[in-house]
Amino acid sequence: MTRPRVVVIGGGITGLACAYRLRDAAEVTVLESSPRVGGNLVTVARDGFILDGGPDSWVAAKPHASALCNALGLGDELIGTRPETRRVYVAYNGALFPLPEGLVLGIPTRFGPMVSTRLFSPLAKLRMGLEPMVAVKLGDDDESVWDFIVRRLGVAAAERLAGPLLGGIFAGDPKALSVRAAFPQLVEMERKYGSLILAMRASRKAAAASGGKSAFVTLRGGIATLPEALAQALGDRIKTRSPVAAVELDGGWKVRLTSGERIAADHVVLAAPQRSLPGLVRGLDEELARLVEGIRIGSSATAFVAYRREQVAHALDAVGFIVPRAENTRVIAATWVSSKWPHRAPEGSVLLRAFFGGIGNEGVLQSSDDALVSAAREELPGFMGPIHGDPLFSQVFRWTKASPQPEVGHLARMREIHARIAAHPGLHLAGNGYDGSGIPDCIKQGEAVAGRIAAGG
Ligand SMILES: Cc1cc2nc3c(=O)[nH]c(=O)nc-3n(C[C@H](O)[C@H](O)[C@H](O)COP(=O)(O)OP(=O)(O)OC[C@H]3O[C@@H](n4cnc5c(N)ncnc54)[C@H](O)[C@@H]3O)c2cc1C
């Protein structure tokens, strides 16, 4: 039996995972516009430091990324966060407060730390404590993350806990993000347990039984180790510097490159980012292009600054801090990279990274790289205390239109998008921001498409 010809557009983690799964079942070609594969998964090694410019890890509880690493022989390279710094600070009126222990996705699970925290007034604490008594919302209406948290836990929790934590995951606006699309597990918990606090307590007990493992996982040599291993396994099935201009139906599927070359295929997998997709399919299906274009996409930047340990006064006893919108700063969050992970900075040095941008804060991204580094150097000490002298080095990574927003109405939009895709047999869609956003969900989508193609679908 002849193997199907599959062209995968986009050599990010989604496209690579799809191609890897199909490597024996199909004649697969990955077309990647840039000189390197991996898309958002970027690692730079310099002066003994390891910088993950975009994503730095994935959620351990979602199995697809770790399973793929194991399949590629990278199992021994998987590492978790340092156990001694597994806490987060939140900025409030310019100072850092430790988030109360026992929070899961910003939802309190322990009574003591919530009672003792200075982050909330007694009234706000009482409101949160009443959460198990709040009625369950029935029906399938979509709701924003903000409205959901306010309804269950009160305004203060939305402002200072769950809003910045949950919104920050998407560099998004919690008032616009859909709780059903972005955090379906929270909706499920409300439905099943009648209370987020009770549900989280149950899941915390299960997590404790698993030995207090890290909630996040990465790779010792940096996150790009994963796409590099996939690229090695796929060999010359990958064509870099091959930007696709359009997908056409002309006596079968044809993928047209900007060079003018046309490649025939039995299946085409659209795994390019959402910002590129409308241009690829407009000639084929205007409505599909319009639907994808309707998904809002956020932009952000990360600025790394490296120091000798003695230059930074703070104890750096956490993974970093988040800054709620009300603080009105340019830095929206910071990771103390060398406290969060082992192997990211040489002994005696520290690596910090500041986040800029996100929905509603994108004006700052007009600034030059030097201006972003200056902003980080001005604002980090305001939160963390003195940082003496110049950094050993700094480096900025820009993420323009790289964070699709699953906003209210996203699930209904995705039903329409899937219906349009299904109307074109042989055309497939997977990737960031469609049916999930993080690395494990991208791999899951890419592998699901591969499974359907291998099964003859
Ligand atoms: C700043 C930032 C931090 C993040 N942090 C995390 C995190 O900590 N954990 C986590 O799980 N997720 C995180 N994410 C999300 C994660 O990066 C994505 O879910 C995932 O990397 C998306 O993979 P992808 O393959 O779908 O898309 P991409 O990584 O965007 O890859 C798509 C590829 O398609 C190529 N391409 C584009 N146009 C064309 C064309 N016309 N022809 C051919 N090729 C084309 C691009 O060059 C690119 O290589 C973060 C995202 C950002 C932006």
d(Cα 175, Cα 158) in Å, to the nearest integer?
10
Residue nearest to atom 49 of ligand 1 (CA): 39
pLDDT tens, residue by residue, 51-61: 999 999 999 98
Task: Say if ligand 1 is within 6 A of residue 403 CB.
Answer: yes
Tell the residue number behind the tokens 């002298």, with chain if given: 389
Query: Of the candidates 102, 139, 59, 114, which has an alpha carbon nearest to the alpha carbon of residue 444?
Result: 59
Residue 192: CB atoms within 10 Å: 12
How many angstroms does the Cα of residue 40 sit away from the middle of ligand 1?
4
Distance 446 CA to ligand 1 centre (A): 13
For residue 280, which amino acid is it? Answer: L
What's at 127, amino acid-wise? R
Q: What percent of the chain has pLDDT over 90?
A: 80
> Which tokens is 335 given?
């990771």
Mutation pick for ligand 1 pocket among 40, 268, 300 (CB with most ligand atoms within 8 Å) = 40
Q: Which residues pair with 49 in a beta bridge?
A: 46
Residue 26, strand partner residues = none
Domains of the chain, earliest start first: 5-39+224-295+406-454 (3.50.50.60), 43-63+72-83+297-404 (3.90.660.20), 99-209 (1.10.3110.10)
Amino acid, res. 321: F
- Rg of the Cα trace of the chain? 23
255 pLDDT higher than 80: yes
Using a 6 Å cutoff on CB, does residue 335 contact ligand 1? Answer: no
Q: How far apart are CA 457 and CA 106, in angstroms?
A: 41
User: pTM of the full predicted structure?
Assistant: 0.95
367 lines ligand 1 (CB under 6 A): no
- For the chain, report the end-to-end CA distance as a whole number of angstroms: 16
Q: Which two tokens stand for residue 56?
A: 């730095």
| Confidence band for 188, pLDDT divided at 50, 70 and 90 | very high
Strands (E), 35-74: 43-46, 49-52, 58-59
Q: What is the mean pLDDT of residues 69-97?
A: 93
pLDDT tens digit sequence for 271-296: 999 999 999 999 999 999 999 999 99
If DSSP codes are grouped into helix, strand and coil, which group holds residue 158? helix
| Among protein residues, the one whose CA lies closest to atom 34 of ligand 1 | 10
d(CA 16, ligand 1 centre) in Å = 11
Find out whether the beta carbon of 10 lies less than 6 Å from any atom of ligand 1: yes
Model pLDDT, residue 210: 59
Q: From CA 123, how far away is CA 134, in angstroms rounded?
A: 16
pLDDT band for position 209 (50/70/90)? low
